[in-house]
């Protein structure tokens, strides 16, 4: 074999494996649900935008929604019902100050609500950007009213200055943990706890280097801990990698964590985190050379299991424009915790080329372990709080907060990789199917304003459906799920939407219901409908892993539809497929229909051009869909095609026809009538004024000499009519308001009609001296 050929085979082999293994890259949803007002409950207030902050108050049956300069209390069961609202607008002085700092007064210099958290006294803590001067306040909902207490707390370090900058925050035991920027320029990123003692990160690139914050989560790791460990707060973000030996900036995904009981150091790291550690997160998408960037996370925990079994679902997108893939990776909390508790550290080492190289630290690690929470072992050594930690431990963590080991997802590969609309947000819900197993259903928001509903069945990623939430494509910026209502809530710049976990009624047949493989839905043979498992007491037909529809009863026969055509005309037969995964085929009189230039199968339509008697027959459209169990054929439509006159049932005939009625014809008739009436009125007025001689006076008028200068004595009737109509146009059309170019009255129409005649034209220069009616 030629060396170059063998080398090309060597390089192409991984690509071939990639294409074979990741064929689901182009996987499409089984069902695409376009926008319809019945799909979701929508909320939008005129003049208000950016509905990107949500707080579920299930204790009050409320969805508290933060937007630009407003907070809304919506009915949790139907968010289209607004129960209360409160405005929080910036003052003119604040807007002017923001404008003077170079910000856009129409976008930047407003108050974008960015933080909404419930406090332990059942109030709400709310913060807004406040024209690039963040401010926080307390809010209550009493007697159906939202009320701001107007305490005006400083929001620096809690809420972002920039309304379009990513941030993260949680409220844990009435303590606010926030990740944002401390200054107006956004150049001082910080992870901060506001109460009871303010603790934050160091302003060092080794701690946070141009970060883009994503989300935060709390883990009760101290609960029933044998080691006396502390609860943790995890922060997910991306940043420019300090450890990369490269000329260009490389962005990587990170997870950091701090301990709840951290009070800072006594001398070193005063009022700074002593437990801040961070590690790289990998989501290895096969075709990418650059690491994918984290965009959102969702913490899922089984209430019957311990915290170590919790999972983090994370969305990743490429950092280059050469790829249009998005991925979902899943991480165990126990794997993340192990890296921080037992992993090696990275350390900076200066090299001759005057830059710092980060390598694995191989020296002695101080005791207590740098970055560790206070546990039983530390307490035995007399260290009961972080203020007691020795300077050697604190200095170590100050210089080396980065772990050497990267955190890998479960299976060391993504759970889902898909080409198309970029993923933006994710939530996960667990449901028990009819087979008794529990499945994690992912609801993924996209930049196109759609929500993907996907499940992984034993390694097979299956996208059940894709739902368009908003009338126009809008990136989904926030998603939330309520266990009380079983509803999903999503927010975008344009508004907020609410959808159920499943809409089983979209499947009209048993086969369609089973092949949808939705763990929420099953076919009830008694009522003959696809319904929710949770709402049925009887055994339903469902097969989520294989899509086995063999247990389905025979479907009701499809009623044939009559279609007729004119010889030489065109005929269109529709066959809407119930599934994007199905292929449609046509039969005529029981035999497969062979396509030819005259007979085209285009999408869901069969188009017959120049139809003739040979096209008469019975046409049947079949939907063919394969699952792991078998291949299933369904009759979608049957047409009995014959030759005959066009009638009400022949709306699929495709040839031009004259329109005999309708609004456009009626309007034309009305305009024509006005034209005739206007012309007659104008003609009568000219007879009355003597501008046009009566027929019986024609001879007498012709004998009289013409007094007007410049008019030829041999002017004909049509020549006399033309200037009269032109001159008298204002008298017919009324007062001229400067819009005569667009608004034509009956007189102007008559003038235009007169211009179309073939009569000799008046010499216009000879009429320039005529100024008013008296001169005529």
Spell out the residues 6+ positions from residue 651 whose beta carbon is closer than 8 angstroms to its own. Answer: none
Across-strand partners of 760? none
Categorize the per-residue pLDDT at 544 as very low, low, confident or very high, splitting at 50, 70 and 90.
Answer: very high
Residue 667 has pLDDT above 50, yes or no: yes
CA distance 555 to 508: 10
Task: Report the C-alpha gap between 393 and 290 in whole angstroms.
Answer: 35
Ranking 178-182, 287-291, 387-391, 541-545 by mean pLDDT, the lowest is 287-291
What tens digit of pLDDT does each residue of 346-391 get? 999 887 766 788 999 999 999 999 999 999 999 999 999 999 999 9
pLDDT at 164: 93
- 363: its two tokens: 């020296």
Give the model confidence (pLDDT) of 671-716 as tens digits. 567 777 777 777 776 666 666 655 444 344 444 433 333 333 333 3
| pLDDT on residue 631 | 92
At residue 645, the pLDDT reads 62
At residue 732, the pLDDT reads 32
Q: Of residues 181 and 746, which shows the higher confidence score?
A: 181
- Closest residue by Cα to residue 349 from 362, 358, 339, 337: 358
Q: Which residues contact 277 (CB under 8 A, 6 or more apart)?
A: 256, 257, 340, 371, 397, 401, 402, 403
Domain boundaries, the chain: 561-643, 667-775
Residue 558 has pLDDT above 60, yes or no: yes
For 415-450, the pLDDT digits (tens) are 999 998 999 999 999 999 999 999 999 999 999 999
Alpha carbon 315 to chain centroid, angstroms: 15
Alpha-helix residue ranges (DSSP H) falling in 654-716? 663-689, 698-703
Mean pLDDT of 22-43: 82
Residue 340 pLDDT class (50, 70, 90 cuts): very high
**Rounded CA separation 488/20 (Å):** 35
Per-residue pLDDT of 723-762, as tens digits, reads 333 333 332 333 333 333 333 333 333 333 333 333 333 3
Please report the pLDDT score of residue 478 as a whole number: 97
CA distances from 768 to 8, 217, 515, 524, 763 (A): 87, 86, 83, 88, 10
User: Measured between alpha carbons, how far is 16 from 610 in angstroms, rounded to an integer?
Assistant: 46
Give Cα separations from 645 to 566, 650, 651, 746, 763 (angstroms). 7, 9, 11, 42, 58
Q: 288 pLDDT band (50/70/90 cuts)?
A: confident
**720, pLDDT greater than 80:** no
Which pair of structure tokens corresponds to residue 275?
């437990």
Say if CB 103 and CB 109 are below 8 A apart: yes
Measuring CA to CA, which residue among 489, 501, 408 is closest to residue 74?
489
Compute the average pLDDT of residues 607-623.
92
Which residue matches tokens 């300069």? 69
Please spell the DSSP secondary structure of 660-672, one letter per residue: -SSHHHHHHHHHH
Helices H / strands E in the chain, number of each: 11, 42
* Strand ranges, E, within 469-576: 478-482, 487-491, 496-500, 521-524, 529-532, 561-565, 571-574
**Closest C-alpha among 187, 184, 188, 135 to residue 162:** 184
Residues 6+ apart with CB under 8 A from 320: 290
Mean pLDDT of 148-176: 93
Q: What is the pLDDT of residue 212?
A: 96
Contacts of 373 by beta carbon, 8 Å cutoff, 6+ apart:
222, 229, 230, 232, 259, 261, 262, 275
Q: How far is CA 82 from CA 40, 476, 482, in A?
A: 15, 21, 18
Each residue's pLDDT tens digit, 62-82: 999 999 999 999 999 999 999
CA–CA separation, 749 and 756 (whole Å): 11
Residue 717 scores a pLDDT above 50 = no
| Strands 356-360 vs 78-87: parallel, antiparallel or unpaired | unpaired
d(CA 514, CA 529): 11
Helix (H) or strand (E) holding 18, with range, is helix 3-21
pLDDT recorded at residue 690:
65
- Given this model, what pLDDT does residue 537 score? 82
More confident residue, 236 or 595: 236
State residue 722's pLDDT score: 36
User: Quick one: 488 exposed, middle or buried, by C-beta within 10 A (0-12, 13-18, 19+)?
Assistant: buried
| Tokens of residue 206, six digits | 């080794």
pLDDT at 13: 34
Task: Tally Cβ neighbours within 10 Å of residue 643.
Answer: 14
The span from the CA of 739 to the CA of 445, in Å, is 50
The H-or-E segment that residue 379 falls in is: helix 376-380
Give the pLDDT score at 25. 63
pLDDT over threshold 70, residue 547: yes
pLDDT surpasses 90 at 768: no
What pLDDT, on the 0 to 100 scale, is given for residue 459? 87
Residue 43 confidence (pLDDT) above 60: yes
Average pLDDT, the chain: 83
Angle between helical axes of 717-727 and 663-689 (0-180°, round to 10): 110
Strands 135-142 and 153-154: antiparallel
Provide the Cα torsion 230, 234, 239, 242; round to 10°. 20
Q: What mean pLDDT is predicted for residues 287-309?
A: 90
Residue 479's Cβ-count burial label (10 Å; 0-12, 13-18, 19+) is buried
- For residue 760, report the phi and psi dihedrals to the nearest 5 degrees: -60, 145
560: CB partners within 8 A, 6+ apart: 618, 638, 639, 640
* Residue 771 scores a pLDDT above 60: no
Position 111 pLDDT exceeds 90: yes
Rg of the chain in Å (alpha carbons): 38
In words, the CATH class of domain 561-643 is mainly beta
Is residue 453 over pLDDT 60? Answer: yes
Assign 21 a pLDDT band (cuts: 50, 70, 90): very low
CB 750 within 8 A of CB 678: yes
Tokens of 661: 């009625």
Percent with pLDDT over 90 in the chain: 64
> Taking the CA of residue 625 as centre, how many other CA atoms within 13 Å lie in the half-sphere pointing to its CB?
24
CB-based burial, 90-114: b 16+ in 10 Å, e otherwise? beeebbebbbeeebeeeebbbbbbb
Residue 135 Cα distances to 126, 150, 193, angstroms? 9, 10, 16
User: What percentage of the chain's residues is helix, strand, coil (to nearest 5)?
Assistant: 20, 35, 45
For residue range 619-652, list pLDDT tens digits in order. Answer: 999 999 999 889 999 999 999 999 876 444 444 5
| H-helix or E-strand spanning residue 173 | none
Beta partners for residue 176, in sequence order: 171
**647 in Cβ contact with 564 (< 8 Å):** yes
DSSP category for residue 766: G
> Which band of pLDDT confidence, cut at 50, 70 and 90, is reported for residue 394?
very high
Give dist(CA 53, CA 148) in Å, integer: 17
Check residue 577 and give its pLDDT: 85
Q: How far is CA 680 from CA 137, 683, 730, in A?
A: 74, 5, 16
């Amino acid at each position: 074999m030629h060396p170059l050929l063998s080398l090309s085979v060597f390089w192409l082999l991984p690509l071939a494996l990639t294409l074979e293994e990741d064929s689901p890259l182009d996987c499409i949803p089984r069902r695409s649900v376009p926008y319809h007002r019945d799909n979701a409950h929508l909320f939008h207030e005129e003049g208000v935008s950016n509905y990107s902050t949500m707080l579920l108050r299930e204790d009050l049956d409320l969805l508290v929604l933060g937007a630009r300069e407003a907070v809304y209390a919506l009915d949790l069961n139907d968010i289209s019902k607004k129960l209360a609202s409160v405005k929080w607008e910036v003052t003119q002085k604040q807007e002017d100050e923001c404008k003077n700092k170079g910000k856009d007064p129409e976008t930047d210099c407003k108050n974008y609500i960015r933080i909404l958290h419930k406090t332990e006294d059942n109030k709400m803590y709310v913060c807004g950007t406040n024209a690039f001067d963040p401010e926080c306040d307390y809010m209550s909902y009493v007697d159906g009213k939202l009320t701001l207490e107007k305490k005006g707390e400083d929001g620096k370090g809690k809420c972002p200055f920039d309304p379009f900058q990513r941030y993260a925050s949680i409220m844990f035991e009435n303590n606010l943990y926030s990740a944002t920027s401390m200054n107006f320029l956004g150049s001082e990123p910080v992870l901060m706890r506001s109460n009871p003692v303010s603790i934050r990160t160091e302003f060092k690139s080794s701690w946070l280097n141009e970060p883009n914050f994503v989300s935060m989560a709390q883990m009760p790791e101290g609960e029933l801990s044998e080691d006396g460990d502390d609860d943790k707060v995890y922060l997910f973000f991306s940043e420019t990698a300090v450890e990369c030996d490269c000329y260009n900036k490389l962005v990587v995904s990170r997870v950091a964590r701090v301990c709840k009981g951290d009070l800072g150091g006594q001398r070193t790291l005063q009022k700074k985190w002593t437990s801040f550690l961070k590690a790289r997160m990998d989501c290895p998408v096969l075709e990418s050379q650059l690491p994918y960037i984290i965009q959102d996370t969702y913490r899922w925990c089984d209430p019957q299991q311990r915290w170590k079994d919790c999972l983090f679902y994370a969305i990743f997108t490429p950092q280059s424009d050469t790829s249009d893939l998005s991925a979902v990776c899943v991480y165990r909390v126990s794997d993340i915790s192990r890296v921080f508790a037992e992993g090696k550290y990275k350390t900076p080492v200066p090299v001759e080329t005057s830059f710092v190289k980060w390598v694995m630290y191989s020296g002695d690690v101080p005791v207590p372990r740098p970055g560790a929470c206070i546990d039983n072992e530390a307490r035995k050594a007399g260290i009961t709080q972080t203020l007691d930690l020795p300077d050697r431990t604190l200095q170590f963590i100050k210089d080396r907060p980065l772990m050497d080991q990267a955190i890998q997802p479960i299976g060391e590969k993504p759970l889902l990789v898909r080409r198309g609309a970029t993923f933006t947000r994710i939530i996960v819900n667990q449901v028990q199917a009819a087979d008794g197993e529990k499945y994690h259903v992912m609801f993924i928001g996209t930049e196109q304003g759609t929500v993907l509903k996907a499940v992984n069945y034993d390694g097979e990623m299956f996208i059940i459906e894709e739902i368009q939430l908003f009338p126009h494509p809008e990136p989904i910026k926030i998603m939330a799920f309520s266990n009380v209502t079983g509803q999903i809530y999503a927010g975008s710049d344009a508004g907020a939407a609410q959808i159920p976990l499943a809409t089983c009624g979209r499947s009209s047949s048993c086969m369609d219901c089973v092949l949808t493989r939705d763990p929420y839905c099953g076919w009830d043979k008694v009522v003959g409908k696809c319904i929710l498992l949770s709402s049925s007491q009887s055994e339903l037909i469902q097969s989520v892993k294989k899509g086995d529809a063999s247990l389905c009863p025979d479907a009701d026969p499809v009623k044939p539809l009559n279609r007729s055509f004119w010889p030489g005309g065109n005929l269109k037969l529709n066959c809407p497929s119930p599934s994007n995964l199905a292929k449609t085929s046509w039969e005529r009189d029981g035999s497969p229909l062979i396509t030819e230039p005259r007979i085209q199968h285009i999408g869901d339509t069969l188009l017959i051009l120049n139809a003739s008697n040979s096209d008469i027959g019975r046409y049947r459209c079949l939907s063919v869909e394969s699952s792991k169990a078998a291949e299933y054929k369904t009759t979608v439509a049957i047409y009995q095609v014959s030759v005959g006159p066009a009638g009400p049932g022949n709306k699929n005939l495709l040839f031009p026809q004259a329109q005999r009625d309708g609004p456009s014809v009626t309007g034309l008739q009305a305009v024509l009538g006005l034209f005739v009436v206007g012309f007659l009125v104008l003609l009568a007025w000219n007879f009355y004024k003597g501008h046009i001689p009566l027929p019986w006076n024609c001879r007498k008028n012709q004998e009289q000499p013409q007094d007007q200068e410049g008019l030829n004595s041999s002017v004909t009737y049509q020549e006399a009519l033309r200037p009269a109509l032109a001159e008298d146009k204002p008298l017919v059309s009324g007062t001229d308001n400067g819009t005569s170019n667009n608004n034509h009255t009956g007189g102007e129409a008559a003038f235009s009609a007169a211009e179309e005649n073939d009569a000799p034209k008046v010499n216009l220069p000879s009429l320039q001296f005529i100024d008013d009616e008296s001169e005529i």
